[in-house]
């Protein structure tokens, strides 16, 4: 789970790298666990930023950590070799330890899962360049565009819809669904909610 502060830090570091040395590229997709910081809502500030970049976001099933087995195994190794039973004077020292270990993990240590090759031998950069700025998404003709309020709610025909605090002050669009009286709520090209006008308004 990443909180808003963590998501902001990741965005800052990613865009900083893109603007300076151009090493950061867009992957086609990102997979994460099902936990979110806003109870009952899967999207976070970070996942919405990825969607704005055109990176597909998927989530594992609740209570199935094996879905992210490779990540869990990586975290176990990181914990055992860098973090456990160690004290760091400050975040700077901690980052130095991470940086040194990353070089060993990616470029020096053979990995059994890779037939004793190193991860760097398998790395291929994404062909999709990372943009320096993200332009507002064009929902196109026929879209009913609404701005989500600060609490993560939007209103459509007197029906309140809770999307989650991650959507605060962002633009979303509503489009008719297959069933009459129903609308899909879209963030960029992704369905993030629904409105059913067949139920009486509160």
Please report, for the domain that includes residue 27, its CATH number. Answer: 3.30.420.10
Answer whether residue 136 is part of any domain.
no
Instruction: Round to whole Å and give the CA distance between 49 and 1.
Output: 15
Total count of domains within the chain: 2
Distances (CA, A) of 94 to 58, 77, 131, 150: 30, 16, 30, 35
Between 58 and 189, the more confident residue is 189
**135 falls within a domain:** no
pLDDT in tens, 105-154: 999 999 988 999 999 999 888 787 778 888 889 999 999 999 999 999 99
Q: Which two tokens stand for residue 17?
A: 């790298």
Contacts of 25 (CB under 8 A, 6+ apart): 125, 126, 127, 128, 129, 130
**What is the average per-residue pLDDT within 3-11?**
44
What pLDDT, on the 0 to 100 scale, is given for residue 16?
46
Question: Quick one: 63 and 93 in the same domain?
Answer: yes
Q: Between the CA atoms of 178, 184, 190 and 192, what dihedral angle is there, to the nearest 10 degrees?
A: -140
Pairing of strands 171-176, 159-162: unpaired
Q: 121 and 150: one domain? A: no
pTM of the complete model: 0.63
116: left (phi over 0), alpha (psi -120 to 50) or beta: left
Q: Are residues 112 and 183 in the same domain?
A: no
Q: Are residues 96 and 161 in the same domain?
A: no
Question: Quick one: which H or E segment has residue 159?
Answer: strand 159-162
Cα 109-112-116 angle, rounded to 5 deg:
60
Q: Quote the DSSP letter at residue 198.
A: T
Is residue 17 within 8 Å of 24, Cβ to Cβ?
Answer: yes
For residue 78, the enclosing domain spans 4-129
For residue 132, what is the DSSP state?
S
């Amino acid at each position: 789970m990443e909180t808003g502060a963590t998501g902001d830090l990741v965005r800052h570091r990613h865009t900083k790298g893109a603007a300076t040395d151009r090493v950061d590229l867009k992957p086609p997709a990102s997979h994460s666990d099902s936990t979110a910081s806003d109870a009952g809502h899967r999207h976070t500030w970070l996942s919405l930023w990825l969607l704005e970049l055109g990176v597909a976001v998927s989530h594992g099933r609740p209570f199935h950590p094996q879905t992210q087995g490779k990540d869990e195994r990586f975290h176990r190794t990181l914990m055992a070799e860098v973090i456990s039973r160690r004290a760091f004077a400050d975040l700077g020292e901690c980052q130095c330890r991470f940086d040194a270990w990353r070089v060993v993990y990616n470029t020096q240590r053979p990995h059994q899962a890779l037939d004793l090759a190193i991860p760097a031998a398998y790395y291929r950069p994404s062909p999709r360049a990372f943009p320096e700025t993200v332009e507002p998404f064009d929902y196109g003709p026929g879209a009913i565009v609404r701005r989500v309020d600060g609490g993560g709610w939007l209103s459509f025909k007197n029906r309140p819809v809770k999307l989650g605090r991650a959507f605060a002050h962002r633009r979303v669009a509503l489009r008719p669904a297959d069933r009459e009286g129903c609308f899909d709520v879209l963030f960029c090209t992704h369905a993030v909610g629904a409105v059913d006008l067949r139920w009486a308004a509160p």
